[in-house]
Chains A and B, each alone.
Chain A
Amino acid sequence: MIPAAFDYVRAGSAAEAISLIGQHGSDAKFIAGGHSLLPMMKLRLAQPAVLVDISRISDLSYIKDAGDHIAIGAMTRHMEVEKSSVLAQHVPLLAHAAGHVGDPQVRHRGTIGGSIAHADPASDLPATTLALGATYVVQGPNGTREIAASDFYKSFLESDLAEDEMLTEIRVPKMNGAGWSFQKFNRRAQDWAIVGVAAWRGANGSGVGLVNMGQTPILASSVSAALAGGSSIADAAALAVADAQPSADNNATVEYRTHLAKVLVRRALEQASA
């Protein structure tokens, strides 16, 4: 399978990338690692007229300790997130989840920014950063703005990013020793989760993100509220789908997804609380 023809331009900086996407209008798309976009282009589910390659913007590839949070450049590859000693110390849930994206070859190419900007509810990192209360920094022609992960995801593969805006940084609060768990249920190695759960629980509360349980990654706020109110793990996990809108596909019915979410949230909370 070969993508439909397109023009290719390469950006050396975020400002240049935004200028290029502005010049080429709504038929242009950013490409980073290309591991979400290229498969869609090969299937002709996407046919951009112009690709603006942002993967070589080297000053957007970093993982920095920024005091109360870790700042991650959008072009940082999954393998670098997975292997980062800074993240292992301060946000181990994110490093662990990054190690479950695709397979090693995919993680050598795919970027955290690309995964989040793609806004796939079945992807691991959107739901994980949502659970962790991350903030996304985006740059546009008129400067930068910060978007809370909880305000970012709008619909299936749709985010708050405007066409001429680019995700540049992911800010993830330090976990400060909170317990955590990542549960990914799938039938085949390397596959997307049928249902996934990213959860943490600490002195400041808890966060539970659900993978593939709706049109967007889902923050299971009802579960955290129940825990804060003194509910048992079992009672809180029973609310796993209160904020979700699971749909059926070849892998699972709505009933099966609902069952999986409750079981996986309970397991995740047990592990995070141990």
Chain B
Amino acid sequence: MEIQVTVNGKKFTSDVEPRTLLVHYVREVLNLTGTNVGCDTSSCGACSLHLDGEAVKSCTVLAVQADGANITTIEGMAAADGTLHPMQQSFMENHGLQCGFCTPGMVMAATSLLKENPNPTEDEVRIGLEGNLCRCTGYHNIVKAVLAAAGK
């Protein structure tokens, strides 16, 4: 089935099988491998990206369901000149990553969270990121990074 999507500002037209998951479309067809597959069961959040401005778990969305949508992946967060998105910068400054596997999903979930709640409390950040797991258990600095980004 043919789908048309805009990913990180670029338009793509692709022929996909209906059973193709959005995460596999993004990684294997568009070669945007920053979006990770972690648990593959909509638990861990590593595959989070923005679908029409909201964080979703792309392992649990069909590519055909995203037909016509505007998608942003982690590759689309930095500016064209390479300047990091404030959330990425904040993760760097606050040591909000260890192995880095959960980081793209964390950044996408955290930016979606701040869009809905620009001034969260620490508790609201922790609850707002409940859909994202960090197996390094580096949550403390992730929460710090999100709070710092909210202050910018």
Chain A residues in the interface with B (C-beta under 8 A):
1-8, 31, 34-35, 38-39, 42, 51, 53, 55, 79, 102-106, 108-109, 189-190
Answer whether residue B61 sits at the interface, using C-beta atoms and an 8 A cutoff. yes
The reply to whether B40 and A1 form a contact with Cβ atoms under 8 Å apart is: yes
Is B17 a contact partner of A5 (Cβ separation < 8 A)? yes
List chain B residues, Cβ under 8 A from A6.
18-19
Known A-B contacts A5-B17, A34-B65, A103-B130; the reply to A108 vs B55 at CB < 8 A is: yes
Q: Taking A34-B65, A42-B40 as contacts, is the C-beta distance between A105 and B48 under 8 angstroms?
A: yes
Distance in angstroms between the alpha carbons of A27 and B24 in the assembled complex: 26
B residues in contact (CB < 8 Å) with A: 1, 17-21, 24, 40-43, 45, 48, 51, 54-57, 60-62, 64-65, 109, 112-113, 116, 127-128, 130-132
Query: B131, A8: Cβ atoms under 8 Å?
Result: no
Residues of A within 8 A of B19 (CB): 2-6
- The reply to whether A109 and B40 contact each other, CB–CB distance below 8 Å, is no
Contact of B55 among A34, A39, A102, A105 (CB under 8 A): A105
Minimal Cβ-Cβ distance residue in A for B57: A105
B62 touches A105 (CB 8 A): no
Contact in complex: B18, A7 (CB < 8 Å)? yes
Task: List 20 A–B pairs whose Cβ atoms lie within 8 Å, in order of A's numbering.
Answer: A1-B41, A2-B20, A3-B19, A8-B1, A8-B62, A34-B60, A35-B60, A39-B42, A39-B60, A103-B130, A104-B55, A104-B109, A104-B130, A105-B55, A105-B56, A105-B131, A108-B54, A108-B112, A109-B60, A109-B61
